[in-house]
Amino acid sequence: MVEILAPVLGPDLAPPVAGIIKALVLVAFVALSAIFFIWLERKVAGRIQDRLGPTRVGGKFGWLQTIADGIKLLVKEDIIPATADQFLFRAGPYIAFCASFLGFLALPFGNGVVAQNLNIAVFFVLAVLSVEVFGVILAGYGSGSKWSLFGGMREAAQVVSYEVPMAICVLVPVLVVGTMNLNRIGQMQAGWFFSWNVFRDPFLFAAFWTYFTCATASCKRAPFDLAEAESELVAGFHTEYSGLRWSFFFMAEYASMFAVSGIATLLFLGGWHTGLVPTDLTQLFGSIAGNVLNVAVFIVKCWLLVFVMMWVRWTLPRLRIDQVMQTCLKYLLPISCVLLLGASLWQLLMPVFVLNYLRYVIGGAVACGWLALLIRLVTGKPPAGEALSLGPALGRPGYELAKR
Amino acid sequence: MTLAASLFWLVAGVTAASAIGVVVTQHIVRAAVWLLFSLAGTAGIFFLLGADFVAATQVFVYVGGTLVLVVFGVMLTAQGPFVSMKTSAVEWAVATVVGLLLFGVLVVCVMGEPAFQQAQPLKADQNSSTVLGKAFLGVVEATAEAPLTGVADRAEPGARTRVAYLLPFEIVSVHLLVVLVGAAYLARAKRRRMAA
Amino acid sequence: MTDIGLTHYLVLGAVLFVCGVLCMAIKRNGIGILMGVELVLNGANVNFVAFAQFSPTFQVEGQIFALFVIVLAAAEAAIALAIVLNFYNNHLTVDVDTAEELKG
């Protein structure tokens, strides 16, 4: 970016202008993906609950629902409760949003498509994402409401605890590949999907699932959304918020969901590589088209992971706060420690033959599993009702009812 | 003014102003917010100094961990809705004078040393996390024959002594374990001695 | 406003240090005092990292000392908060002036 701008703007002006452009692109991306995710969340929730979700605004699928919501939020009255601490109440949403936005600075979307190619990118992203909780706590404390305070305290206890197993799970692939540079980690997984880190050894495979659980909890998504448990705490830490400030919390939440999914994709799931061709896409389609495809592949992978988070949210019931803490401290933490230890010992003790070829076994097994599931979804008749089948979903009586 | 210089003035200004905010504010959680800005600004200063790893550690440990703990502590010990701290005018006066004096002494010390003013920043040839990792392991230089002994290397006469930081690292980790146990012991729920 | 040198960083460290000392001195709240300690440690850290960047004989050590300071500060904060909570359990306040049972 700087190299392109330097002849036009001169060497002094080029770096700041390039920085501003990158930041604006990232802000636009975060905002747009939040709009998309909110629509997706409603659709997914609707489908899982045998409803339709938004259908009216913007045509058949309700594409423009989020835009309409956004306009509604913008014109809403901006209320600050009389009992609130003005400064903290105002600062909370912005701290939360800035923290999750900062994570995108070091997240590579493609080979070298990154705002700042930090050498310690993983560490940096985890660090700034951990600051988001501070905004939430401030909002909870500054609102001057008991519900908010409870939400803030739960959030503080939960996120600080879940950070530990999450960081340890991130350490497992970092230890195996030997770098914290996300761009480098992505490059190392080029080629067929056998070379993705998640198939590299059994500990990495387990670390992926552990990481994903911790990441869901650290984004305070259900079943770990105790900070805003609406059946207990009205709306938790954002009870008193309305309008634009409220929407900042949601942008922060969806941005950090995307960021943790991005880390998962880069660390475990091959980054911007499709896994279906043996080389990087830039070598097949040229530099520009290849990079665009890389970015698209990365974003789609992240969206799939975010979709899984939504799926989990609308499928599982919420845990109690003591169960959340127990899950972290009694189960996830020991599991992640064992994984770290196991991955180190595996690298030390396993013969080279096993190290090199086990990935084909794991990768092949997982691919066969996916294939079987896919075949069953598309063609087969699942034994227990129609729960697994996507086909007849459109022709159900509920659909007709809602359309009327 | 170059980009680096203007960035320094911006970040240093925010850091110093927030540090003053921590002292001046009467409200404990607002002090925590100012401390957040100050610590984040310090992390920015570390980035400007090329110490990426230290900067990220600063954000991770301080801002994401310690500060959250501090606010958690405030919530657990608060009696009213918002805790405020009163300081009398006399104390303010004394504090200002003492603070200015102390600051003056420090600045005179810094300014009086000509070596500090001529110092030029080093060019970082390697990324800081690699250098740090090698230092922890006691790998002396990036050369192939570097011994992995973990003891001071005095191979070349005149070469400065380098010590591995593996032992301090382990001591710190044991220390953290002790702290973990100690904090859990101290903070465990007990019956109150003085019912007030 | 010439180039940014070591002096600039050292003065910034001094500002943080002085603010921390004042914070420790004038706050009555135990947690406020803890914040002062954090500021002091940060001032020292700025100096360490600045020296690491400017002095060839301190390049690695500066950053490593800063890392140790950060880690030990976290440990210190945990212990101090535990003590404050204990104090609160005994005195129902975190005002450190009420700790005067040992006064002769």
Tens-place pLDDT, residues A278-313: 777 777 777 778 788 888 888 888 888 988 888 888
Backbone angles phi, psi at B27, to 5 degrees: -115, 125
Percent of chain B with pLDDT over 70: 70
Q: Which two tokens stand for residue A165?
A: 């197993």
Q: Which range (A21-25, B72-76, B137-141, B192-196) has the least confidence?
A: B192-196
Q: Enumerate the residues of chain C whose CB falls inside 8 A of the CB of residue B64.
A: none
Answer whether residue A63 is part of any domain: no
* Contact status of B22 with chain A (Cβ, < 8 Å): no
CA angle A53, A57, A62 (to 5 degrees): 40
Query: Which of B32, B160, B183 has the CB atom closest to C78's CB atom?
Result: B183
What's the confidence (pLDDT) of residue A336? 92
Dihedral sign computed on CA atoms, order A9, A15, A16, A22: positive
| Euclidean distance between CA atoms A236 and A179, whole angstroms | 39
Q: Could you tell me which residue, A64 or B123, shows the higher pLDDT?
A: A64
Beta bridge pairs of residue A120? none
Q: What is the pLDDT of residues A41-97, one digit of tens each?
A: 888 888 888 887 777 777 777 778 778 888 888 888 777 777 777 788 888 888 888
Q: What is the pLDDT of residue B189?
A: 66
Answer yes or no: do B62 and C75 touch at CB < 8 A.
Answer: no
Spatial neighbors of A7 by CB under 8 A, at least 6 apart, are none
CB contact under 8 A, C35 and B107: no
Ramachandran category for residue A292: left, alpha or beta (phi over 0 → left; psi -120 to 50 → alpha):
alpha
A252 pLDDT band, cuts 50/70/90, is confident
Q: Does the beta-carbon distance from B110 to C66 stay under 8 Å?
A: no
pLDDT reported for residue A150? 82
pLDDT in tens, A372-381: 888 888 876 5
How far is residue A68's CA from residue A55's CA, in Å, rounded to a whole number?
13
**A176 — pLDDT class (breaks 50, 70, 90):** confident
| Residue of A5, A20, A119, A126 to mutate for B, most B C-beta atoms under 10 A | A119
Cβ–Cβ gap A134/B29 under 8 Å:
no
Those of residues 7-46 in C touching chain B at CB distance below 8 A are 7-12, 14-23, 25-32, 34-36, 38-39, 42, 45-46
Nearest-CA distance B111 → chain A (Å): 30
- Same domain for A129 and A223, yes or no, is yes
- Per-residue pLDDT tens digits for C18-39: 999 988 888 888 888 888 999 9
User: Across chain B, what does the average pLDDT equal?
Assistant: 75
pLDDT over 90 percentage in chain A: 2
Chain A residues with CB under 8 Å of B52 CB are: 118-120, 124
pLDDT over 50 at C44, yes or no: yes
When mean pLDDT is compared across A118-127, B86-95, C14-23, the lowest value belongs to B86-95
Closest Cβ opposite residue A153 in set B30, B69, B75: B75
What ipTM does this complex have? Answer: 0.87
Cβ A130–B59 below 8 Å, yes or no? yes
CA proximity to A159, closest of A236, A246, A270: A236
Domain membership of residue A101 (yes or no) is yes
Domain-wise residue ranges, chain C: 27-93
For chain A, what is the mean pLDDT?
80
Residue A353: which residues within 8 A CB-CB, separation 6 or more? none
For residues A169 and A21, state if they share a domain.
Answer: no
| Non-local CB neighbours of A309 within 8 Å, separated by 6+ positions | A216, A219, A221, A257, A261
Is the same domain home to A157 and A260?
yes
Confidence class of residue C87 from pLDDT cuts 50, 70 and 90?
confident
**B121 and chain A in contact, CB less than 8 A:** no
Q: Where are the alpha helices (DSSP H) in A103-227?
A: 121-142, 146-177, 182-188, 202-218
Give the lowest-confidence range in A137-141, A198-202, A315-319, C97-101. Answer: C97-101
Q: Residues C39, C40, C45, C46: is their CA dihedral positive or negative?
A: positive
Contact B71 A95 (CB under 8 A): no
For chains A and B, CB pairs below 8 A equal: 91
Task: Give A173: exposed, middle or buried? Use CB within 10 Å, 0-12, 13-18, 19+.
Answer: buried
Residue A157's alpha-carbon distances to A152, B17, B164, in angstroms, are 9, 30, 36
Query: Does A71 reside within a domain?
Result: no
Question: Tens digit of pLDDT for each residue in A232-248?
Answer: 777 777 777 877 788 88
Q: Is residue A65 included in any domain, yes or no?
A: no
Residue A219 in this model has a pLDDT that exceeds 50: yes
pLDDT score for B126? 56
Instruction: Write out chain B residues lying below 8 Å of A138, CB-based.
Output: 29, 33, 71
pLDDT score at B149: 34
Query: Which residue would you say has higher pLDDT here, C71 or C89?
Result: C71
Per-residue pLDDT tens over the stretch A207-216: 888 999 888 8
Cβ B182–C82 below 8 Å, yes or no?
A: yes
Nearest to C38 by CA among A190, B38, A242: B38
- Can you tell me whether residue A44 is helix, strand or coil? helix
Q: For C1-104, where are the alpha helices, taking DSSP H only?
A: 6-26, 30-54, 59-91
Q: Which domain holds residue A84?
A: 76-349
Confidence check: pLDDT of A401 > 60: no
Cis peptide before A7 (omega within 30 of 0): no
Say if C69 is an interface residue toward chain B (CB within 8 Å).
no
Mean predicted confidence (pLDDT) in B116-134: 67
Q: How many CB atoms lie within 10 A of CB A310?
A: 20
Do residues A292 and A367 share a domain?
Answer: no
pLDDT value, residue B127:
63
Please report residues of C whose CB lies closer than 8 A to that of B127.
Answer: none
Are residues A155 and A267 both part of a single domain?
yes
Q: Which two tokens stand for residue C61?
A: 């050590």
How far is it, in rounded angstroms, from Cα A215 to Cα B170? 29
Examine the pLDDT at B148 and tell me if it is beyond 60: no
The angle at the Cα of C5, spanning C3 to C7, to the nearest 5 degrees, equals 135
Q: Check residue A68 and give its pLDDT.
A: 82
Please report which helix (H) or strand (E) contains residue B173, including its range: helix B166-186
Buried/exposed code over C59-92 (b: 16+ C-beta within 10 A; e: otherwise): bbbbbbbbbbbbbebbbbbbbbbbbbbebbbbbe
Most confident listed range (A91-105, A108-122, B182-196): A91-105
Residues of A whose CB is below 8 A from B130: 119
Same domain assignment for residues A93 and A240: yes
The verdict on a CB contact (< 8 Å) between C75 and B175 is yes
Contact yes or no for A14/B3 (Cβ under 8 A): no
A209 and A293 both lie in a single domain: yes
Rounded Cα gap, residues A377 and A49, in angstroms: 19
Q: How many CA atoms lie within 13 A of A36 on its CB side?
A: 16
Do the domain assignments include residue A49?
yes
Q: How confident is the model at residue C41 (pLDDT cuts 50, 70, 90)?
A: very high
Our separate counts of H helices and E strands in chain A read 15, 0
Among candidates B2, B182, B196 on the partner chain, residue whose Cβ is nearest the Cβ of C79: B182
Based on the domain organization, do A291 and A389 belong to the same domain?
no
| Most confident residue range from A147-151, A154-158, C68-72 | C68-72
The pLDDT value given to residue A389: 46
Q: Tell me the mean pLDDT in the region B53-74.
A: 85
- For B138, residues 6+ apart whose C-beta sits below 8 A from its C-beta are B148, B149, B150, B151, B153, B162, B163, B164, B165, B166
Asked whether B128 and B100 are in contact (CB, 8 A), the reply is no
Quick one: tokens of B108?
């005179």
CA–CA dist A402, A52 (Å, integer): 7
Contact of B3 with chain A, judged by CB distance below 8 Å, is answered with yes
Mark yes or no for CB contact B192/C89 under 8 Å: yes
Which residue among A12, A88, A160 sits closest to B65, beta carbon to beta carbon?
Answer: A160
Summarize the confidence of residues B34-43 as an average pLDDT. 90
| C4 backbone dihedrals φ, ψ, rounded to 5° | -80, 120
Please say if the pLDDT value at position B192 is more than 70: no
Find tokens 């002849």 and name the residue. Answer: A7
Check whether residue A392 and residue A326 sit in a common domain: no
pLDDT tens by residue, A334-391: 999 999 999 888 888 877 777 777 778 888 888 888 888 888 888 765 555 445 444 4
Residues 6+ apart with CB under 8 A from A331: none
* Helical ranges in A178-286 per DSSP H: 182-188, 202-218, 230-233, 243-267, 281-285
Res. B85 pLDDT band, cuts 50 70 90: low
Number of domains in chain A: 3
Instruction: Name the band, by pLDDT with cuts 50, 70 and 90, for residue A197.
Output: confident
Could you tell me if residue A84 is inside a domain?
Answer: yes
Contacts of B155 (CB under 8 A, 6+ apart): B140
Which residues are CB-neighbours of C104 under 8 A, at least 6 positions away? none
